[in-house]
Amino acid sequence: MPEERARSIYGLLILTAWADGLIHPNEILVEHAILGEVPELGALDDMRAIAGDAKSALDAEGLDAAVARMAAPLTAREDQELAFTCCVRVLEADGIIAPEEFRVMRILRRLWGLSEDEVSRLISR
C-alpha cells in the first residue's frame, strides 16, 4: 500500500477518535492494536504529524470536510474497506458510540457508496 493511502487510513482512524472531542484510553489501545496488525500503518514514521494534521483539519474545517479530505486518496475498495473497518474498531473501543463518531461512518458510507450489506459485513469483521 502506498504511503499516501496509509496516511489517509491512519488520519481517518484519528478523526474517528477525535470526533466526539476527546480521546478515550481504549481508543489508544485499539489504535496500537491496529498499528501492529496493519504493517503499512505501523511503518508510518510521522504518525504524530498525521494525527496533528487530522485534529487541525477537524478544528478548522469541521468533521464532514475533514473526513472527506482525508478519505479522498482512498479510491481502491480494498483501502476503503480497511479504513472503514479500522474506524469501526475505534468507534467501538470505549463502549460508547457518540453521534459524532457514528457520523464519520455515515460520511464514509456516502462518499464511498457502501451498501447496507457491505457496511454489515465490515462491521462484523
Express each pLDDT in 33-51 by its tens digit. 999 999 999 899 899 999 9
Does the pLDDT value for residue 6 go beyond 80?
yes
Whole-number Å distance between alpha carbons of 26 and 30: 6
| CB-neighbour burial class of residue 82 (10 A; exposed 0-12, middle 13-18, buried 19+) | buried
The pLDDT value given to residue 20: 82
First to last CA, the chain: 20
Q: Can you give the residue ranges of every domain in the chain? A: 3-123
The pLDDT value given to residue 71: 96
Q: Which DSSP letter does residue 22 get?
A: S
**Rounded to 5°, angle at Cα 110 from 35 and 98:** 60
Does the pLDDT value for residue 1 go beyond 80?
no
Does the pLDDT value for residue 64 go beyond 80?
yes
Report percent pLDDT > 70 for the chain.
99
* 72 pLDDT tier (thresholds 50, 70, 90): very high
Does the pLDDT value for residue 108 go beyond 80?
yes
For the beta carbon of residue 98, count every other beta carbon within 10 angstroms.
Answer: 15
Does the pLDDT value for residue 56 go beyond 80?
yes
Does the pLDDT value for residue 95 go beyond 90?
no
Whole-number Å distance between alpha carbons of 96 and 92: 7
The pLDDT value given to residue 96: 74
Asked: is 3-123 a CATH 1.10.3680 domain? The reply is yes
